[in-house]
């Protein structure tokens, strides 16, 4: 038998971070992610790491800034309203080119909202969230195993590009238990000669996001944009599932993608040619493969736990080529498998001209 | 093989641990498994329920609105979930705490006085195992062997309670067996 253990999504984030060489966590409790700080409060000290419950989310993200500046692999996590509070700090991390991993176990908003699953923080995560022209690297796992893979990947990409990485999941993925295998993974920790570690015997390393002269600030922005182009070029990730012969392409990510997979199985049994394009990296948006996939299908069906946010990026790639329909639930409600399969059937009937 | 189950009761009846035990047992049998608690602003003694999926396939949606099986441990759970069982599915009712008649005619209903039986066996906390035994007798989604092995693991630090839990499982299965036999004789 394999080395699989049964684990909650939130706890898996913590264990994955430890296996990725992260020894610093700063956070503030909020449902539905509190199992993660609870797990790390127990396990970080065992590996000589730091677990610190800050006085607020703002304090926590600035502690992350400090640890990242000193060259540490550092993690923070929260749920939607708490992530909003961290946005100023995330913008500073992006501008100062500091690596850090931020987990958002999303709940339904706006405002205090409710703790049930939602995907309404998509815009905030992929378009910047804080002030200024910047991007987070954003990964969206669909299972507890993928949470582990993405936390590790998040640390690696964050170090590689010196850019904050966000793991975007929802309360259901955080709460559910699935078998996972941590494997015999060894993190490849990079030297960080730029870190502020005390400059005795070397030149001072300055880490800042302030460039008073606008010419300098523009040059800094151009440098950031060049980095984002490189990330766009190299780090797009997606899964193409049952798309080989598909006429209808469902586009979804995270928890929603799993509901869609079940619905697609139901439709396939009825002979409907439908498949799923699952976004794995939300930023960079997997536009290269989506662009080719759109060419091969008759219609695109976007499903989100929001009023329709990711669909805007799908429309940019589609650029009017194929019709796009949408279904979204909000406020912590999730569509049922039957709900999605019925809608796919309707699209199928329409494009095969049984109705209308 | 693809089976989904919702277990519902009030906080403290062991519905979460019953589900986790099934998931663990499924894992030891090499199945794909998923356990998901219904989470929300819960109160002590309030609603508690979880979903368990055991499958040979990749598990898609963790949210199941009409599961093949439901175990209800008290009356509010019976009221809330009776209509959710998939037609042809199985409903296990803890009749000690849910004594009303089941209205559905299109499902297999197993009535087990789980709390009463567990109390007779010496500890009402084993009611969940009585219900689980009855359920597994009707829906062998996991073998008794695997569940018993899991009991050894779960109670590794509290070995004294294992015999009681095993007895509870067996008694539950026995009741379900007798009930089915009586019904097929009619």
Are residues A208 and A71 part of one domain?
yes
Answer yes or no: are the C-beta atoms of A268 and A186 closer than 8 Å: no
Q: Does A179 touch chain B (CB under 8 A)?
A: yes
B61 vs A262: CB contact, 8 Å cut-off? yes
Residues 266-285 of chain A whose Cβ lies under 8 A from any Cβ of chain B: none
- What residues form DSSP beta bridges with B51? B6, B36
Instruction: Give the residue from A200, A234, A268 where a domain finishes.
Output: A234
Are residues A224 and A259 part of one domain?
no
Q: Which residue in chain A has the smallest CA separation from B41?
A: A115
* pLDDT averaged over every residue in chain A: 96
pLDDT of residue B43: 72
As a whole number, mean pLDDT of residues B169-186 equals: 93
pLDDT of residue B186: 74
Q: Does B35 touch chain A (CB under 8 A)?
A: yes
Q: Does A338 touch chain B (CB under 8 A)?
A: yes
Q: Which of A3, A6, A115 to mutate to test the interface with B (most CBs of B within 10 A)?
A: A6
DSSP per-residue letters across B89-158? -EEEEETTT--SPP--SSSEEEEE-HHHHHHHHT-GGGHHHHHHHHHHHH--SS-HHHHHHHHHHHTTT-
pLDDT of residue A1: 47
Sign of the CA dihedral B5, A169, A174, B72? negative
The span from the CA of A32 to the CA of B77, in Å, is 24
pLDDT in tens, B115-142: 999 999 999 999 999 999 999 999 999 9
* pLDDT averaged over every residue in chain B: 94
B62 vs A176: CB contact, 8 Å cut-off? yes
pLDDT of residue A355: 56
pLDDT in tens, A200-212: 999 999 999 999 9
pLDDT in tens, A59-89: 999 999 999 999 999 999 999 999 999 999 9
Are residues A137 and A43 part of one domain?
yes
Chain A positions touching B37 (Cβ under 8 A) are: 175-176
pLDDT of residue A2: 63
Q: Could you list the residue range(s) of the whole structural domain that residue A40 is in?
A: 5-234
Instruction: Give the residue from A175, A207, A234 where a domain finishes.
Output: A234
pLDDT in tens, A304-353: 999 999 999 999 999 999 999 999 999 999 999 999 999 999 999 999 98
Question: Of the candidates B24, B39, B66, which has its C-beta nearest A6's C-beta?
Answer: B24
pLDDT in tens, A220-257: 999 999 999 999 999 999 999 999 999 999 999 999 99
Answer yes or no: are the C-beta atoms of B106 and B164 closer than 8 Å: no
Residue B168 has pLDDT above 80, yes or no: yes
Are residues A122 and A212 part of one domain?
yes
Residue A167 falls inside a structural domain:
yes
| The pair of three-digit structure tokens given for residue A99, joined into one six-digit string | 């690596």
As a whole number, mean pLDDT of residues A173-178 equals: 97
The span from the CA of A167 to the CA of A163, in Å, is 13
Distance of CA B15 to the CA centre of its chain: 8
Residue A356 falls inside a structural domain:
no
B24 vs A265: CB contact, 8 Å cut-off? no
- The domain tally of chain A equals 2
Chain B positions touching A255 (Cβ under 8 A) are: 62
Are residues A250 and A154 part of one domain?
no
Residue A64 falls inside a structural domain:
yes
Chain A positions touching B23 (Cβ under 8 A) are: 6, 177
| The pair of three-digit structure tokens given for residue A352, joined into one six-digit string | 């095969």
Are residues A283 and A212 part of one domain?
no
A258 vs B60: CB contact, 8 Å cut-off? yes
CB-side exposure of A164: number of CA atoms within 13 Å? 33
Other Cβ atoms less than 10 A from the Cβ of A338: the count is 13
Sheet holding A324-328, edge to edge: A238-241, A274-279, A248-252, A299-304, A324-328
Instruction: Give the residue from A188, A203, A234 where a domain finishes.
Output: A234
Q: Which of B20, B60, B146 to mutate to test the interface with A (most CBs of A within 10 A)?
A: B60
Q: What is the CATH number of the domain that holds A347?
A: 3.40.50.920
Other Cβ atoms less than 10 A from the Cβ of A116: the count is 20
pLDDT of residue A257: 98
Chain A positions touching B33 (Cβ under 8 A) are: 6, 178-179
As a whole number, mean pLDDT of residues A264-292 equals: 98
> Which domains does chain B show, CATH number per domain?
2-185 (3.40.920.10)
Nearest Cα residue to A33 out of A57, A62, A66, A4? A57
| The pair of three-digit structure tokens given for residue A349, joined into one six-digit string | 């009937």
Angle at CA of residue A128, ends A124 and A131, nearest 5°:
110
| The pair of three-digit structure tokens given for residue B184, joined into one six-digit string | 């097929």
Are residues A281 and A188 part of one domain?
no
Residue B100 has pLDDT above 80, yes or no: yes
Are residues A205 and A89 part of one domain?
yes
The span from the CA of B155 to the CA of B15, in Å, is 16
Q: Does B88 touch chain A (CB under 8 A)?
A: no
Q: How confident is the model at residue B45 (pLDDT cuts 50, 70, 90)?
A: confident
Residue A139 falls inside a structural domain:
yes
A337 vs B40: CB contact, 8 Å cut-off? no
As a whole number, mean pLDDT of residues A36-59 equals: 98
């Amino acid at each position: 038998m394999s080395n699989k253990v049964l684990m909650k999504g939130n706890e898996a984030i913590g264990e994955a971070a430890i296996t990725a060489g992260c020894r610093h966590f700063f956070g503030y409790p909020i449902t539905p992610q509190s199992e993660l700080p609870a797990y790390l409060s127990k396990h970080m000290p065992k590996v000589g790491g730091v677990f610190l419950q800050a006085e607020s989310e703002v304090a926590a993200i600035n502690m992350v800034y400090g640890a990242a500046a000193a060259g540490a692999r550092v993690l923070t996590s929260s749920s939607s309203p708490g992530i909003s509070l961290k946005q100023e700090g995330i913008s500073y991390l992006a501008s100062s080119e500091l690596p850090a991993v931020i987990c958002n176990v999303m709940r339904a908003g706006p405002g205090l909202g409710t703790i049930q699953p939602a995907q309404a923080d998509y815009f905030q995560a992929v378009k910047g969230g804080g002030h200024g022209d910047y991007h987070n690297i954003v990964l969206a796992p669909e299972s507890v195993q993928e949470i582990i893979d993405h936390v590790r990947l998040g640390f690696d990409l964050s170090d590689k590009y010196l850019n904050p990485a966000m793991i975007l999941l929802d309360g259901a993925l955080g709460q559910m238990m699935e078998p996972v295998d941590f494997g015999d993974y060894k993190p490849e920790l990079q030297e960080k000669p730029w870190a502020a570690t005390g400059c005795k015997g070397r030149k001072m390393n300055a880490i800042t996001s302030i460039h008073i002269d606008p010419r300098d600030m523009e040059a800094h922005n151009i440098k950031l944009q060049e980095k984002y182009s490189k990330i766009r070029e190299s780090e797009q990730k997606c899964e193409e599932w049952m798309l080989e012969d598909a006429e209808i392409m469902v586009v979804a990510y995270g928890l929603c993608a799993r509901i869609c997979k079940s619905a697609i199985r139901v439709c396939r049994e009825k002979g409907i040619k439908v498949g799923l394009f699952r976004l794995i990296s939300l930023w960079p948006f997997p536009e290269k493969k989506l662009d080719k996939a759109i060419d091969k299908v008759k219609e695109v069906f976007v499903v989100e736990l929001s009023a329709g946010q990711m669909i805007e990026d799908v429309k940019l790639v589609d650029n009017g080529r194929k019709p796009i329909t949408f279904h979204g639930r909000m406020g912590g409600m999730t569509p049922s498998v039957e709900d999605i399969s019925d809608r796919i059937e309707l699209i199928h009937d329409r494009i095969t001209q049984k109705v209308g | 093989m693809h089976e989904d189950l919702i277990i519902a009761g009030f906080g403290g009846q062991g519905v979460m641990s019953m589900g986790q035990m099934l998931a663990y047992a499924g894992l030891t049998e090499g199945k794909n498994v998923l356990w998901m608690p219904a989470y929300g602003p819960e109160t002590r003694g309030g609603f508690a329920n979880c979903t368990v999926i055991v499958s040979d396939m990749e598990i898609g949606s963790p949210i199941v609105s009409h599961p093949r099986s439901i175990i209800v441990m008290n009356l509010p759970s019976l009221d809330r979930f009776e209509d959710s069982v998939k037609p042809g599915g199985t409903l296990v009712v803890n009749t000690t705490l849910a004594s009303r008649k089941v209205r559905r005619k299109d499902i297999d209903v197993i009535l087990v006085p789980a709390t009463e039986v567990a109390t007779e066996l010496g500890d009402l906390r084993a009611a969940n195992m009585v219900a689980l035994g009855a359920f597994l007798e009707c829906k062998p989604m996991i073998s008794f062997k695997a569940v018993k092995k899991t009991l050894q693991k779960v109670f590794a630090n509290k070995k004294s309670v294992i015999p009681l839990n095993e007895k509870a499982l067996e008694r539950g299965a026995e009741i379900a067996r007798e009930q089915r036999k009586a019904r097929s004789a009619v």
